[in-house]
Amino acid sequence: MPAKIKTPKESKVVMTELVLPNDTNPLNNLMGGRLMHWMDVVAAIAAQRHSNRIVVTASADSISFNHPISLGNVVTLEAQVTRSFNSSMEVYIEVWAEDIPANKKAKTHRAFFTFVAVDQNGRPIEVPELKPETADEKELYESALRRRQLRLVLAQRMKPEDAKELKSIFKLDEKA
């Protein structure tokens, strides 16, 4: 049975949290682990929406901690699937912190997570294809294959010479 083709907007999730004292470190900033937990949750929901399956986190990479998030800030996390493969999906997450009394809002973090859809026995299962529509979605879609190959090379699950999409970036000799 062929999987349905879906668009990134069908998987989009927006989650909002308030930074409370229990979420902070001694500097009254959001703890990185708490933020990563929220990122994992919002990304998992996006992957579930795309696959209509149970999903498990396969990797969390390229997490950029650009700005601290303060006690009392409202945190908005946005996630959507950027590309699907056989049983895996890459999810892009953006994080915004808002200081409502000061009327300030800034993008503080971004990341790419990978999820695998599994059946009731925990075995990988096929996921729908993804068809990007906007220019940003198409750019994320195209670059997802390079990020995937880099993850596989770093995890030693792919030989660098087999990572064809990475060769142009690293100018690897085709004869290698």
CATH of the domain at 114: 3.10.129.10
Within a domain: residue 116? yes
The pLDDT value recorded for residue 1 is 43
Looking at the 3D structure of the chain, how many domains does it have? 1
Within a domain: residue 146? no
Within a domain: residue 171? no
What is the side-by-side strand order in the sheet with 74-84? 13-18, 74-84, 88-99, 104-118, 54-65
pLDDT 10s digits, 93-131: 999 999 999 999 999 999 999 999 999 999 999 999 999
Within a domain: residue 170? no
Within a domain: residue 45? yes
The pLDDT value recorded for residue 4 is 87
| Bridge partners (DSSP) listed for residue 174 | none
In this predicted structure, which of 84-88, 143-147, 154-158 has the lowest mean pLDDT?
Answer: 154-158
User: Could you tell me which of 134, 157, 130 has the C-alpha nearest to residue 144?
Assistant: 130
Average pLDDT over residues 141-169: 78
pLDDT 10s digits, 38-51: 999 999 999 999 99
pLDDT 10s digits, 8-25: 999 999 999 999 999 999
The pLDDT value recorded for residue 176 is 45
Residue written as tokens 């699907």?
84
Report CA dihedral (115, 8, 54, 84) to the nearest 10 degrees.
Answer: -50
| Structural domain boundaries, residue 54 | 8-132
